[in-house]
Amino acid sequence: MAKSGKTVFFCKECGYESSKWMGVCPGCREVGTFVEELVKNNGKQTKRSLLNSKPVAINEVTANDEERITTGFTELDRVLGGGIVPGALILVGGDPGIGKSTLLLQVCRNMSGAGKNILYISGEESLKQIKLRANRMGKFSDNLKLLAETSLDSIESVITEVKPDAVVIDSIQTIFREDISSAPGSVSQVRESTNTLMQIAKGNTIPVFIVGHVTKEGVVAGPRVLEHMVDTVLYFEGDRHAAYRIIRGVKNRFGSTNEIGVFEMREDGLKQVLNPSEFMLSGRPEDASGSVVACLMEGTRPILVEVQALISHTNFGMPRRTSVGTDYNKVNLLMAVIEKKMGIQMGDYDAYVNIAGGMKITEPALDLALVMALISSYKNRPLDSKTIVFGEVGLAGEVRAVSQAQQRVMEAKKLGFKRCIVPEVSVGNLKNTEGIELVGVRNINEAANVI
């Protein structure tokens, strides 16, 4: 029996195409990433032009930040770099049930209420299901149009006819092109569908939001080239059973990639948290050993978090070490520094470290707070509840300077903290510190003397 198409192999990471299976991808050098797909070749070729093919001098092009479109959420606008850029292709990924569709539906509500014509296209829900979800959020404007469709050709014709100010695609794994025989969500379908949506966005200067499912490793399903094609990649993080969500920009051609936005999940949808430091410290115990407040930077925003440590004598020959919210190897490294430089033997003790609130922290400024929390729990001596700590710790036990120390101290002062333990090299550069005591330390021994 004659085949209706030809079999090709695609790399899931970079989208490299080959006529035969290979163990190592020649494009990205990844191992075992080739998948087999059946591609129908009917001779149909679609050619589009994003913009004018005539070259233009860069000084003749006009562009400014005033053209950005606000989402109605200052937290999301900050992550996007000040708002939505017309013609941008934005990918939103996250775990199932984390709130991706809820957030984008609220963004559609805000933008349509501001007079923008929005088109919400869903390939996973019917119109009645979307309406049921929208009823919990409140009243919507007639400027928001809904479409339940999975065919990309139909979606393209509707966008051309309606000419909306913004489009939401929920989700890219359900959209398919009819001239490609593989199933929706496959490498070729996701790649070609994203390429078509990119051409629609750039050619008509329409911002397009794309919802992407994630794999068990936490990355967007489909070829890795998907993240290279879009302008912005946002990840919605947080435990689905927790009250808050964090949206983080991991790629942004129009702004910083270090910014985060904090939201709280409620019955009527997501509500932005304008003061995440106060939110993270709510319910903090008073005068408890092993509890230390640290100040971290997420982009341009300082955030205060509580670091908790518990040191207890082990009942087994091998001590147990557990870390939640920070790197496990970092905790082991800092415990080794404490043993070597302070003479405190922790080899017979279990160690449990937790970042309260569920945040995941990798910043080096957390080191000194971890060290002081471990020592506080070991000696069973609490640190003053009005004291904040930040600094990087080296292998020699020295405390090194961290960036943006001024913003960290100002955030602590605003929330009522009275003392700040900082690297000594940073004390001379701090200004306007009336009302908060600065304690400069050169090494972990001087920091332990505070306890």
97 is in an annotated binding site: yes
Separation CA 99–CA 247 (nearest Å): 10
Q: Are 10 and 152 in contact (CB under 8 A)?
A: no
- Read off the amino acid at residue 411: E
Contact present, 195 and 188 (Cβ < 8 Å)? no
DSSP run (H or E) holding 200: helix 187-204
Give the span between the Cα atoms of 350 and 347, in whole angstroms.
8
8 Å CB contact between 18 and 44: no
193 is in an annotated binding site: no
Name residues whose C-beta falls within 8 Å of residue 327's C-beta, 6 or more positions apart in sequence.
362
Determine if residue 159 is labeled as part of a ligand binding site.
no
Check the annotation: does 261 bind a ligand. no
Residues near 246 by Cβ (< 8 Å), separated by ≥ 6? 236, 237, 238, 260, 261, 262, 263, 359
DSSP 297-328: EETTEEEEEEEEEEEEE-SSSS--EEEESS-H
Question: How many C-alpha atoms does 152 have within 13 Å on its Cβ side?
Answer: 24
Q: Is 98 one of the annotated binding-site residues? A: yes
Single-letter code of the amino acid located at 26: P
Q: Give the chain's length.
A: 451
Q: Distance between CA atoms of 245 and 99, rounded to whole angstroms?
A: 8
| 99 has binding-site annotation | yes
Strand order in the sheet with 232-237: 144-148, 118-122, 166-170, 208-212, 89-94, 232-237, 244-252, 260-266, 269-272
Does the annotation place 100 within a ligand binding site?
A: yes
**Count of Cβ atoms closer than 10 Å to residue 305 Cβ:** 23
Tokens of 1: 């029996």
444 is in an annotated binding site: no
* Binding-site residues from annotation for ATP: 94-101
* Binding-site residues from annotation: 94-101
